[in-house]
Structure formats: structure tokens, C-alpha cells
A = this chain, B = another copy of it.
């Protein structure tokens, strides 16, 4: 009679707390902001964003977003956190640097190839009309080939 029952709202009867609440050792409320994105069977996913961004920062970031954008935000935070753990000095920024270099190199190779095409065209054919027609046919053929490379 003197006993007070404290009702704890959980994700559902028999459901285990989400990975975040498990790691933070707190009860997982029905409206837990982490629960939809950090299921209990993937503890690493939360552990890594917690390590890099901190649970309270992640919670704040999610709260500032509309619900339909939160899953994408969580995925990008997990990606960033993984990159930071793999490369503690440069993290994601290392990948950006690498890709920027790759873009520069490809732009240069493309410019060289296009210059080569122009050069061959000029050497090959003084009749510009004929050249442009055959080049057009060739381009259409190669476009088909190009897509199959992907």
C-alpha cells in the first residue's frame, strides 16, 4: 500500500532500449530522439557518433531538423565520424582533398583528349562539313559505349 510504482515509458512492451540509451545507461523513452536511427542491434553506429560529436550535440542537431531529414543527417554524421576515426588528422576532409585532385586531373586529361580530337580533325579533313557529320555519327556511337563503362 505504501509502494509507489514508477511507470517508465519504453519503446514498447518487451522492446530493448535503443543503442544510444543502452550506451548512455538511461531509460529509453517512447519519444527518444535517437531510437528511430540507432537500433539496439547496431551499437557501433551510435558509439562512433558519440565518440566524435558527443551524444548531446547529436541530439541538439537532430532536434533542429524536421523529422524527415533526420535519417539522412544521422547517416552523414555516422559517415563523418567513421572517417574521423579512420583518419584522426584529416577525417572527411582528406576524402574531399583526394576527390578535388582527381577532378583536376580528369579535367586536364579531358582537355588534352578534346584538343587531340580538334588537332586530328584539322589535319585529317579540310572539308569541315564532312568531318562534322562523321564526328557526329562517331559521337553517337561512343555515347552508347560510354554509358556501358559505368
Contacts and interface: CB of A to CB of B under 8 A. Distances in A.
Contacts of A110: 106, 109-110, 113
A115 interface: yes
A89 interface: yes
Interface residues of A, number: 61
Nearest to A87: B76
A98 to B, nearest CB: 9
Copies in the complex: 2
A13 B145 CA distance: 53
A91 B80 CA distance: 9
Contacts of A95: 96
A123 interface: yes
Interface stretch (A2-10, A19-27, A30-38, A50-58): A50-58
25 contacts: A53-B53, A65-B88, A72-B90, A80-B84, A80-B91, A92-B96, A96-B96, A103-B103, A106-B106, A106-B107, A106-B110, A107-B149, A108-B150, A110-B110, A111-B149, A112-B142, A116-B135, A116-B139, A117-B117, A117-B120, A119-B138, A120-B124, A142-B149, A146-B149, A149-B150
